[in-house]
Amino acid sequence: ETGVTQSPTHLIKTRGQQVTLRCSSQSGHNTVSWYQQALGQGPQFIFQYYREEENGRGNFPPRFSGLQFPNYSSELNVNALELDDSALYLCASSVGTGEVYEQYFGPGTRLTVT
């Protein structure tokens, strides 16, 4: 167990709807990263938040947005859901944003878009 929690565990949404996924970081971690993992593939980096500011972003459209709160918990919001958004969404927290800091992953949220 890494101490990183995510909610909900599973979620089913309809195309066009909006969804919010939540992540609680490990104690003492100020950085959170979000990843999308489609079935049978490796995770793809969505974005990272460091001390409540977006610190880097992968190749995802603006309808993927995030927030990090003062307690360093985080949200991933996806608007106008598409069928291809169906995936496992993983968050990872770390002590800092440099490359030397290991990322600790939560169990993920399985999103199904119908």
Partner 1 sequence: KQEVTQIPAALSVPEGENLVLNCSFTDSAIYNLQWFRQDPGKGLTSLLLIQSSQREQTSGRLNASLDKSSGRSTLYIAASQPGDSATYLCAVSHSNYQLIWGAGTKLIIKP
Three-state SS annotation for 46-110: EEEEECCEEEEECCCCCCEEEEECCCCCEEEEECCCCHHHCEEEEEEEECCCCCCCCCEECCCEE
Least gap, CB of 75 to partner 1 (angstroms): 18
Query: Nearer to partner 1 by C-beta: 84 or 99?
Result: 99
Least gap, CB of 20 to partner 1 (angstroms): 19
Least gap, CB of 16 to partner 1 (angstroms): 26
Could you list the residues that contact partner 1 (CB under 8 A)?
Answer: 2, 6, 31, 33, 35, 40-45, 48, 50, 55-56, 58, 88, 90, 92, 97-100, 102-108, 110
Query: Nearer to partner 1 by C-beta: 55 or 65?
Result: 55
* Exposed/middle/buried for residue 33 (C-beta within 10 Å: 0-12, 13-18, 19+): buried
